[in-house]
């Protein structure tokens, strides 16, 4: 017994929510350890679609512990709306625990996110404008307030002091919010959330010492990682294996397996390099058939062929033990399917994922081309099997299962 981590291997939206939903059956609890209201995990249960931003996917299941750990940045208003929505729909099923160490988002984080994006002009990052970047910046700059501060009698005083500091640093914020109203609002949030707030580090270690099995559900994807992603076109948290530890407080000794989730093609929302992007009919086909529109923002996602170089980089850094390949059904019916196996830049072949955006933005993908296939029933046709085998060999990691539709049962187990 121990913990299992599920990490997105691309730019997010790989279908992690759905894989967590499959794996959760054999687990006692689900832990969110990074990201915040920028995340959007789509899970389909009993033909109902749920879009979760801050709550762990295990909340849709009976008798699971759901832990929002210290690495998650919390917008309490969003969290409460999400809880209320699930309660109204009769799907707030598990137990919920919220870390007292988690940093808080305030309305000025969202305002700063918007101002920063507009000042970047054509170089904007395409953030979700949920305030996540400015919020994590405050944490690193030691100017954040955490859930534990919300519990303290001096919360109002602390927030007022922080607001004065912010306005002096960013005069553009002057008059944008009424801090006394925000303080009252957050006191109300506290009343609602208080029953769920605990020391989740202590809780996680107790659960693990009782032999409970936990699933650590990553948000976003590895290529959006603050350290390893396509910087600066990244999110502001650690979406890698490192984030599992810093964002939850479990130790590496307790981690049993690390599973990666990759889409059978690639997508990205927002700006930044995307070497295999398709700006043609095939790209549109993938977007429409795959319903590639952002869960958090509704923005159309950019689409392209599977980039095995980038995905191998993700597997290597995160020590991936097995992969779940999602949305195989979207490739079904295409005349041919390509995967990128290297890049060409200024006449040189590059077979690793470069740090330089100049290279990534100007390289030409070198493709391996496969014949397309047509699925009938739930058997993978031989050409689809060859495609998977090629990916396994290239990445050096086995594909454990393949999703062929959004429903829970549309899944082929390859273990």
Return the active site residues: 13, 41
The window from 38-46, 76-84, 152-160, 245-253 that contacts ligand IMP (CB under 6 A) reads 38-46
Contact between 124 and ligand IMP per CB under 6 A:
no
Judged by beta carbon, residue 28 or residue 75, the one nearer ligand IMP is: 75
Judged by beta carbon, residue 125 or residue 350, the one nearer ligand IMP is: 125
Q: How many Cα neighbours within 13 Å face the side chain of 360?
A: 20
Total of residues contacting ligand IMP (CB under 6 A) = 20
Contact between 125 and ligand IMP per CB under 6 A:
yes
The window from 95-103, 129-137, 349-357, 368-376 that contacts ligand IMP (CB under 6 A) reads 129-137
* Nearest distance in Å: CB 346, ligand IMP: 27
* Nearest distance in Å: CB 125, ligand IMP: 5
Separation CA 311–CA 340 (nearest Å)? 10
Residues 212-241, one symbol each (x = binds ligand IMP by CB under 6 A, - = not), give: -------xx---x----------xx-----
Residues across the chain? 415
Taken in order 57, 60, 65, 70, the sign of the CA dihedral is positive
Residues 133-162 interacting with ligand IMP (rule: CB under 6 A): 133
Contact between 262 and ligand IMP per CB under 6 A:
no
Contact between 37 and ligand IMP per CB under 6 A:
no
The window from 127-135, 173-181, 356-364, 391-399 that contacts ligand IMP (CB under 6 A) reads 127-135
Separation CA 65–CA 212 (nearest Å)? 10
* Nearest distance in Å: CB 321, ligand IMP: 23
The single residue among 10, 34, 128, 311 that binds ligand IMP, judged by CB under 6 A, is 128
* Nearest distance in Å: CB 75, ligand IMP: 12
The single residue among 4, 5, 10, 12 that binds ligand IMP, judged by CB under 6 A, is 12
Provide DSSP, 338-392: EEEEEEEETTEEE-S--S-HHHHHH-EEEEEEEE----BTTBPPHHHHHHHHHHH
Contacts of 168 (CB under 8 A, 6+ apart): none
DSSP-assigned letter for residue 108: H
* Nearest distance in Å: CB 331, ligand IMP: 20
Residue number, nearest CB to ligand IMP: 270
Separation CA 373–CA 376 (nearest Å)? 10
Judged by beta carbon, residue 296 or residue 309, the one nearer ligand IMP is: 296
Contacts of 193 (CB under 8 A, 6+ apart): 76, 79, 80, 98, 147
* Nearest distance in Å: CB 227, ligand IMP: 14
DSSP-assigned letter for residue 275: T
Contact between 39 and ligand IMP per CB under 6 A:
yes
Contacts of 352 (CB under 8 A, 6+ apart): 309, 313
Contact between 266 and ligand IMP per CB under 6 A:
no
Query: What are the CB-based long-range contacts (under 8 Å, 24+) for 371-377?
Result: 371/336, 371/337, 372/331, 372/332, 372/333, 372/334, 372/335, 372/336, 372/337, 373/331, 373/332, 374/332, 374/333, 375/329, 375/332, 375/404
Contact between 7 and ligand IMP per CB under 6 A:
no
Upstream peptide bond of 170 is cis (omega within 30 degrees of 0): no
* Nearest distance in Å: CB 378, ligand IMP: 28
Where helices occur in 238-366 by DSSP H, the ranges are 241-246, 281-289, 308-318, 328-331, 357-362
The single residue among 4, 5, 13, 315 that binds ligand IMP, judged by CB under 6 A, is 13
The window from 5-13, 101-109, 244-252, 350-358 that contacts ligand IMP (CB under 6 A) reads 5-13
Contact between 38 and ligand IMP per CB under 6 A:
yes
Contact between 52 and ligand IMP per CB under 6 A:
no
Residue 287 · residue 34 · CB < 8 Å:
no
Separation CA 140–CA 308 (nearest Å)? 33
15 CB burial (10 A radius; 0-12, 13-18, 19+): buried
Contact between 21 and ligand IMP per CB under 6 A:
no
Residues 268-287 interacting with ligand IMP (rule: CB under 6 A): 269-270
Picking from 206, 207, 218, the residue whose alpha carbon sits closest to that of residue 244 is 218
* Paired tokens of 49: 């679609």
DSSP-assigned letter for residue 211: T
* Nearest distance in Å: CB 128, ligand IMP: 3
Instruction: List interacting residues with ligand IMP (CB under 6 A).
Output: 11-13, 38-40, 125-128, 130, 132-133, 219-220, 224, 235-236, 269-270
């Amino acid at each position: 017994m121990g913990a299992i981590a599920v990490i997105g291997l691309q730019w997010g939206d790989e279908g992690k929510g759905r894989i967590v939903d499959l794996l959760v059956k054999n687990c006692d609890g689900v832990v969110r350890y990074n990201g915040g209201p920028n995340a959007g995990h789509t899970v389909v249960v009993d033909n109902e679609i749920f879009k979760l931003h801050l709550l762990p996917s295990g909340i849709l299941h009976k008798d699971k512990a759901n832990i929002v750990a210290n690495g998650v940045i919390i917008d309490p208003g969003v969290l409460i709306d999400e809880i209320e929505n699930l309660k109204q729909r009769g799907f707030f099923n598990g137990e919920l625990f919220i870390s007292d160490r988690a940093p808080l988002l305030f309305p000025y984080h969202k305002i700063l996110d918007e101002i920063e994006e507009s000042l970047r002009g054509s170089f904007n990052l395409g953030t979700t404008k949920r305030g996540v970047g400015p919020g994590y910046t405050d944490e690193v700059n030691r100017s954040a307030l955490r859930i534990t501060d919300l519990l303290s009698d001096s919360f109002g005083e602390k927030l007022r002091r922080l607001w004065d500091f912010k306005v002096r640093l960013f005069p553009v914020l002057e008059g944008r919010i009424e801090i006394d109203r925000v303080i009252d609002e957050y006191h109300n949030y506290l009343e609602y959330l208080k029953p769920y707030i605990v020391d989740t580090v202590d809780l996680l270690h107790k659960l693990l010492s009782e032999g409970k099995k936990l699933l650590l559900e990553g948000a976003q994807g590895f290529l959006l990682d603050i350290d390893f992603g396509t910087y600066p076109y990244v999110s502001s948290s650690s979406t890698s294996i490192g984030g599992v530890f810093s964002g939850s407080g479990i130790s590496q000794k307790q981690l049993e397996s690390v599973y990666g989730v990759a889409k059978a093609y690639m997508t990205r929302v927002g700006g930044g390099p995307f070497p295999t992007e398709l700006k043609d009919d095939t790209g549109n086909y993938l977007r429409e058939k795959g319903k590639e529109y952002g869960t958090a923002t509704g923005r159309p996602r950019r689409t392209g062929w599977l980039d095995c170089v980038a995905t191998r980089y993700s597997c290597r850094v995160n020590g991936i033990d097995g992969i779940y390949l999602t949305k195989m059904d979207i490739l079904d019916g295409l005349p041919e399917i390509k995967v990128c196996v290297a890049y060409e830049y200024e006449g040189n072949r590059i077979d690793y994922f470069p740090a330089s955006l100049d290279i990534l933005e100007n390289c030409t993908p070198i493709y391996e081309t496969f014949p397309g296939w047509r699925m009938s029933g739930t058997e993978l046709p031989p050409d689809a099997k060859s495609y998977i085998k090629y990916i396994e060999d290239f990445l050096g990691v086995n594909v454990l299962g393949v999703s062929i539709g959004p429903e829970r049962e549309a899944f082929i187990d390859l273990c």
